[in-house]
Structure 1
Amino acid sequence: MALPPKFAGQKLASASIQPKAVHTLELYLDYVCPFSAKMFKTVYTSPLRSLLTEKYGSNLVVIFRQQIQPWHPSSTLTHEAGAAVLKLAPEKFLSFSERLFEEQKSFFDVNVVNETRNATYKRLSKLAGEVGVDEGEVYKLLEISDKPGEDGSLNSGNGVTNDVKVMVKMNRLVGVHVTPTVVFDGVVENSISSGWTEGQWEEWFGRNVV
């Protein structure tokens, strides 16, 4: 969990160094949630992104937390694709996320119900390829075999199953449910809305990131 800068004294540090902590802003977003797409676009694809890295970068860490919404089965598949990109090319994760949010409607329930799981994975792998990640390697991590595992298992998952388990466990520990959810310095910040403009974000940062 994040440590608010005002509590930096709780941090163990060398006796010769003043304990320091930075603010942490965590955005819990789901790839098939329209409101998550709106927040991602405002924060990550507008001039606000430069403000966060250049003006506040030394005093603020922004984290995109992948939040699976299981009532949309494709949510798990899309986040598995995000996990595959993180494993293969972490520097491409935000570019892939931007591309996936642009195409999110093609992964809504109506548009995936009649295709196989691996077919959905192939489409997700293609999106990863569009931002410079090896499409074949992404699919290799995502593909589900139709043959039993060496131990006879019929439920062995894929190459990112264990990573997704960790993500889900982390999110459950803080009790996040709806998307988007914003957590600032370890506390849910209910005042922030997906409909916020760049100006509203800038005003909030000016008051809270000091």
Structure 2
Amino acid sequence: MPASPAPLHVDPLVWGHGPRIFEAFLEPTCPFSCRAFSKLPDLLEKAGADRITIKIRLQSQPWHMFSGVIIRCILAASTLEGGKEAARTVMAAVAAHREEFEFTDHCAGPNMDATPNDIIKRIERYSGLHLAQAFAVPELQKAIKWQCRYSRQNGIHVSPTFMVDGLIDPAISSGDTVEAWMERIFA
């Protein structure tokens, strides 16, 4: 009898191991989420991995028309070699080329003719990762649904939203400096 396949491992998008928990709920093509995403490595460095744990939560939003496809690509990347770092590479690639994954005014433009396969291929090209096979694994659905449930259970409706130790902090904004974030996080 053949061995059963190993269960799918979706690497959590978590960096650091400190007692203060900072969760960033991000939609990968939202310009404000992209701005917040770009600050997370600096936050980890300045705060210190022994003082903070940063968790990226993916917040799909229907007005960002390819949101679901892109989030699935990010989670698919987290199942590959490199895990969360591969996922971060995909997020960085999407953020760097955001306009190629978005619609003009959320309803028009060249992406009207794009298919999910086109989006996957663009992400593969920009990230240098092969995602199509991992994208097609049905079990990945569980990780996507978990992200949605977790957001809803915590009252998260838009991105970016930030939580510190399990509580939403509406005073933290993507436009703030990392130093301003640290003042709020470690208050």
The TM-score, its normalising length taken from structure 2, stands at 0.78
Given the alignment of the two structures, is residue 62 of structure 1 paired with residue 30 of structure 2, yes or no? no
Corresponding position of 2:24 = 27
In 1: Cα distance, 2:88 partner to 2:134 partner: 19
Partner SS, residue 199 of structure 1: helix
- The one of 129, 133, 141 equivalent to 1:140 is 133
Q: Which has the larger radius of gyration?
A: 1
What's the RMSD between the two structures over aligned residues? 2.1
- Distance in 2 between the 1:63 and 1:82 partners? 14
Tell whether 2:172 aligns with 1:175: no
Hey, what's the Cα distance between the residues in 2 that align with 1:51 and 1:94?
Answer: 19
**Within 2, Cα distance between the matches of 1:203 and 1:42?**
15
Aligned-partner Cα distance in 2 for 1:42–1:199: 10
Q: Normalising by structure 1, report the TM-score.
A: 0.70
Q: What residue number does 2:7 align with?
A: none
Bigger fraction of residues in helix: 1
- Specify the code of the residue in structure 2 equivalent to 1:160: L
Percent identity over paired residues: 25
Q: CA–CA distance in 1 between the matches of 2:180 and 2:148? A: 30
Name the CA distance, whole Å, in 1 between partners of 2:72 and 2:127.
12
Residue 105 (str. 1) matches residue 124 (str. 2): no
Deviation at 1:78, TM superposition (A): 0.8
Residue 159 of structure 1 and its aligned partner are, at CA, apart by 5.7
- Give the 5 Å matches for 1:21-170: 22-44=19-41, 47-52=42-47, 54=48, 57-88=49-80, 89-90=82-83, 91-109=85-103, 110-129=109-128, 133=129, 135=130, 138-143=131-136, 158=138, 160-170=140-150
Task: Give unmatched runs, 5+ long, in structure 2.
Answer: 1-17, 104-108
Helix, strand or coil for the counterpart of 1:194? coil
The number of residue pairs the alignment matches comes to 163
Question: Cα 1:186–1:202, aligned 2, differ >3 Å: closer, same or farther?
Answer: closer
